[in-house]
Structure 1
């Protein structure tokens, strides 16, 4: 999605959630400065790394995630796919000794598992927004093979492929990387939240609060935009 089109949705999101555009831009500027110092990947770099396949599996952190991971592990040759984990979904893959090729994260998942995935070869798409500037500052430098993203105007080393949540941003990244087929695992778009998504929860699955439900509605909306507007086959295992 070109930024000119995305910006219309972005302004709607800012109004709907009461987010600060200046906060997003401040976080993006910080991440860009860190990546300028530490080094980072370009989109072409990442495309070359994952160029072994144009078939992707994107893992969200919904209630169906664990069952989908087990089913895919048993019935699919995962080496034929580029595996993209949305933030906390990384934990479910690590539990099954599966290493994602890419992790899309705003750094609020299980950081130890994302670091482990990175150590095992995962490329990390770090997303900067106004609410995670402290984590961008304290955690970004620990990762290798990083590509930076923002939901505001792209700048410097940072891209904006479109998307709002880790899950639908992962889909837009897959499209940008040339996916012809994307299988969605653990992408429920419902009213439940899991411990994979919220590591501090006391239960494995619980009711999503109003904020999270609204985010999931946007995630589904942008997923449908991809289905309707991009030349890619999207297969949702939840259906």
Structure 2
């Protein structure tokens, strides 16, 4: 999605949630400065790393995640796919002894598992927004093979492919990398959150609060836009 089109969604999101564009832009600037100093991936670099397949699986952190991971392990050779974990979904993959090729994160998932995935070869797509500046400063330098993203104006080493939540941003990334087929796992878009999306939950599942429900509605709307406007074949195992 070109930035001019994405900006229409972005302005609506800013108004709807009361986010600060200036904070988003500042966070992206800081991430760019860190990546400029530490080194980072470009989109072309990442494309070369995952060019073994144009078939992708994107793992979200919805309640169907573990069930569908088990089914995929039984019925598919996952080596034939580029595996993209959206933030907390990384933990579910680690539990099933699966190493993702890419983790898309705004650094609020289980960072121990994301770091472990990185050590096992996962490329990390770190997203900057106004609410995670502290995490960006604290944790970005611990990762290797990092590509930066923002929901604001792209700057320097920091891209904007479109997308709001980790899940739908992961789909937009797959499209940008040239995916011809994208299977969605754990992308329920419902009213239930899991311990994978909320690591501090005391139970495996809980009702989503109003903030999370609104986020999931945008994720569903943006995913529908991809289905209607991009060439990749989208297969959602939740449907």
Give TM-score scaled by structure 1 length. 1.00
How large is the RMSD of aligned CA atoms in angstroms?
Answer: 0.3
The 2-side partners of 1:86 and 1:9 are apart by 20
- Give the count of matched residue pairs: 239
**Structure 1 position 71, deviation (Å):** 0.6
Q: How does 1:214-229 map to 2 (within 5 A)?
A: 214-229=214-229
Match of 2:201 in 1: 201
Residue in structure 1 matched with residue 163 of structure 2 by the alignment = 163
Q: What is the aligned partner in structure 2 of residue 81 from structure 1?
A: 81
**Which residue of structure 2 lines up, in the alignment, with residue 60 of structure 1?**
60
Following the alignment from structure 1 to structure 2, what is the Cα–Cα distance between the partners of residues 168 and 40? 22
The answer to whether 1:179 aligns with 2:179 is yes
- Distance in 1 separating the partners of 2:20 and 2:238: 34
Structure 2 CA distance, aligned partners of 1:38 and 1:236? 37
Q: Structure 1, residues 44-67: CA drift from partner, whole Å, max 9, x if none?
A: 000000000000000000000000
1:16 partner SS? helix
Q: Could you report, residue by residue, the CA deviation over 1:29-86 in whole angstroms, capped at 9, with x for unpaired residues?
A: 1100000000000000000000000000000000000001111111100000000000
Structure-2 separation of matches of 1:70 and 1:92:
10
Give 2:147's aligned residue.
Answer: 147
Structure 2 equivalent of residue 23 of structure 1 = 23
Deviation (angstroms), 1:124: 0.3
Q: Return the alpha-carbon distance in structure 2 between the equivalents of residues 73 and 113 of structure 1.
A: 20
Q: How much does 1:101 deviate?
A: 0.2
Name the counterpart of 2:125.
Answer: 125
Q: What residue is the counterpart of 1:51 in the other structure?
A: 51
Distance 2:195 2:225 in 1: 28
Q: Which residue of 1 aligns with 2:11?
A: 11
Whole-Å Cα distance in 1 between the matches of residues 232 and 156 of structure 2?
Answer: 29
- How far 1:164 moved relative to its partner? 0.1
After superposition, residues 74-113 of structure 1 pair within 5 angstroms as 74-113=74-113
Aligned residue for 1:33?
33
TM-superposed deviation, 1:23 = 0.5
Which stretches of structure 1, 4 residues or more, deviate above 3 A after TM superposition?
none
CA distance in 1, matches of 2:124, 2:130: 19
SS at match of 1:130: coil
Q: Which runs of 5+ in 2 are unaligned?
A: none
Give ranges in structure 1 of 5+ residues lacking alignment.
Answer: none
Distance in 2 of aligned mates of 1:3 and 1:107? 23
Give 1:2 deviation, angstroms.
Answer: 0.2
